[in-house]
Amino acid sequence: MTGSSNKNGIFVVVTGILWVAVTLMAWYGYWYQGIFVSLVMMLLYLITGARLNGKLDKSFMVYPILSWFVLWVVSFGLVGYYSSMFRGSAPTFTLLGFHPSFAWVFIAWVGSVLTLSLGFYINRDKWLSRKDWEEYQAKIKRMNQELSKGVK
């Protein structure tokens, strides 16, 4: 087993354990804490998906991956804070016209889409270079030609 596939195997096992943990936490009423466990799981999926030839560029890790993670941790921390603060009563203010706890869910969602989209675009060559993309397309074309020969 190579180092890269060994790391992938470890990621698969760890994320599988985290899935079970999140499910059990929700089942036993610890859904809010489960959100943070699921964030770690999503972080591992992002790292796995962003690696090129088994390696992750450090700048890619900082932006967008860690930026996304910090945004979500802070946002869901504030969701808990504001939902506890205004439990059983109407909030005394709104954020973006929403209840403060929901506003942070909205900010996390929109912010993550923007952060990841922009980050993957800016770092696209660190993730999937033009050369790698062209090699992939050529490989698929060869495979399709081989399949076509076998079907006739």
Torsion angle of alpha carbons 122, 104, 96, 86, nearest 10°? -170
Beta bridge partners of 98: 95
User: What's the rounded mean pLDDT across residues 4-32?
Assistant: 91
Residues 6+ apart with CB under 8 A from 109: none
pLDDT number for residue 1: 43
Q: What is the mean pLDDT of the chain?
A: 92
**What is the pTM (predicted TM-score) of this model?**
0.80
Cis ω before 64 (30° cut-off from 0): yes
pLDDT number for residue 71: 98
